[in-house]
Amino acid sequence: MPDAPPRYAIVGLGHRATMYLNALLGEHARDGALVGLCDLNPGRLDVARAKVRAAGLEVPGYGADGFDRMIGETAPHRVIVATPDNIHAQYIVRAMELGCDVITEKPLTMDADACARILDARRRTGRSIIVGFNYRYSPVRTLMKQVLMSGIIGHVKSATFEWLLDTHHGADYFRRWHRRKANSGGLFVHKATHHFDLLNWWLGSVPRRVTALGRRVFYRPETGDALGLTDRGTRCAECAAFPRCGFRLDMAGDAHLRALYLESEAHDGYLRDQCVFSDEIDIEDSMNAMIEFNNGVVANYTLTAYNPCEGYRVVFDGNRGRAELLNIERQAVKPDGSLVRPPAPEQDRIVVQPHFARPYELALPPAEGLHGGGDRVMLRRLFRDASNDQYGHVADERAGAWSAMVGMAANASLLRDGAVELAGLVPDAPLPDLVADPFGPAAIWQEFDPARYPFLEGARVL
């Protein structure tokens, strides 16, 4: 008789929780049993329960003040935390104190005190935490990890990482809770936690010092005025400029947004479509950081949130050559705010060039679904099989802490106008597992040899 599958409860039933709900009701229905649902907002709780009911199940729902009762009555093994970032710590800590393991959405948390509380609860309770760093799991980013681990480009000395958010996705952080630093830590924490985690993971190291600049240059009243949107309102649903605005969000016209947010807003006043040109916004939309790693690498990082297209470019320069990954996730935003996507799912290119040799473009592995195929692979890992994790995809609270700490240090650097050391930011923060030494001892590149480096199979010399 096989063991019964683990029991799951989810707290925070907004947009992101949909991925976990769909997985537990669909592809992973046999890998885990959904036993409890919790949200501050009764409207979103109802939407989630109706979805579960449509799949033939009945799962009890609880308000935010019923979290402890949910754990007591439904006895989950694991709690999935998908609330806004400023509330993660509260539920992560409480879930562990009540005897549960945790899967939390990124970022682990937003500030040093909350991070210390999580690390302390982890030590006290012995329960485990997995951070949903889905970006790591994408097949293309894993291929880049293989390139770095192989030593083909030698010891990495410097990196350049530029991430572009378009006026559809990027603008979304300026419409709702993310737009206040107190809720999200700004994009240096909320968004860049993915990118800082990727750098830590790719490089097999953690930063020691960060120097940052950050400004809000686009999502400002002046931009709305310059676009001729002077008659704009405080939110899209009540805006005279709505038909002329390329940043509009039509909640009434989208069944998912309507049910989840528009029809639920009377309960808590959460407005999903506030004007992106409001002067109430206090997060940056244009950020730069110079990050010095313990292993000597210096990375230059750029994040902008108002681009016409969405994607990223990361380059690693080593003492034997360079490797570059170029991604276009979406090609353009149309004037009505909808998207032009490249052929499914995204366009990627990895070019490697060892010293004194011609560059070659790698053949890419297939990827299915969102976030470069990362979501699907991560869900399989989380719900089905975490064994043979040879690239160290599964991230725990230490990886979560060291990625969030880079964002915290960047935010501190903005205030201080100078470099910030990570040491002591969160006292006694343990180092994450750094998968093998990516620039290991063998690592002497001699020839283009797919027999020795299987990821070269199918590569095209340029």
Ligand X SMILES: NC(=O)c1ccc[n+]([C@@H]2O[C@H](COP(=O)([O-])OP(=O)(O)OC[C@H]3O[C@@H](n4cnc5c(N)ncnc54)[C@H](O)[C@@H]3O)[C@@H](O)[C@H]2O)c1
Decide: is 397 part of the binding site for ligand X (CB under 6 A).
no
Decide: is 84 part of the binding site for ligand X (CB under 6 A).
yes
Q: Which residue is nearest to ligand X (CB)?
A: 14
Decide: is 11 part of the binding site for ligand X (CB under 6 A).
yes
Interface with ligand X (CB under 6 A), residue from 29, 55, 64, 309: 64
Interface with ligand X (CB under 6 A), residue from 8, 9, 10, 14: 14
Decide: is 83 part of the binding site for ligand X (CB under 6 A).
yes
Decide: is 16 part of the binding site for ligand X (CB under 6 A).
yes
> How many residues interact with ligand X (rule CB under 6 A)?
24
Interface with ligand X (CB under 6 A), residue from 79, 102, 116, 134: 134
| Paired strand residues for 163 | 303, 312
CB of 209 to ligand X, least distance (A): 26
Q: Which residues contact 213 (CB under 8 A, 6 or more apart)?
A: 287, 288, 289, 414
Q: Say if residues 44 and 19 touch (Cβ distance below 8 Å).
A: no
Sign of CA dihedral 31, 33, 36, 37: positive
CB of 459 to ligand X, least distance (A): 30
Which of 135, 219 has the CB closer to ligand X? 135
From 83-91, 243-251, 290-298, 307-315, span contacting ligand X (CB under 6 A): 83-91
Radius of gyration of the chain (CA): 22
Which of 260, 456 has the CB closer to ligand X? 260
Interface with ligand X (CB under 6 A), residue from 105, 285, 310, 397: 105
Q: Which residues contact 99 (CB under 8 A, 6 or more apart)?
A: 71, 125, 127
Torsion angle, alpha carbons of 24, 86, 119, 387, to 10: 20
Is residue 16 within a helix (H) or strand (E), and if so which, with residue range? none
Q: Which residues contact 32 (CB under 8 A, 6 or more apart)?
A: 5, 6, 7, 8, 24, 78, 383
In the shown chain, the binding pattern of residues 349 to 388 toward ligand X, with x for contact by CB under 6 A and - for none, equals ----------------------x-----------------
Decide: is 111 part of the binding site for ligand X (CB under 6 A).
no
62/141 Cα distance (integer angstroms): 38
Which of 149, 271 has the CB closer to ligand X? 271
Q: Say if residues 81 and 103 touch (Cβ distance below 8 Å).
A: yes
41/39 Cα distance (integer angstroms): 5
In the shown chain, the binding pattern of residues 33 to 52 toward ligand X, with x for contact by CB under 6 A and - for none, equals -----xxxx--x--------
Interface with ligand X (CB under 6 A), residue from 59, 82, 395, 401: 82
89: amino acid identity, one letter: A
Question: Where do contacts with ligand X occur on this chain (CB under 6 A)?
Answer: 11-17, 38-41, 44, 64, 82-85, 87, 105-106, 132, 134, 190, 371
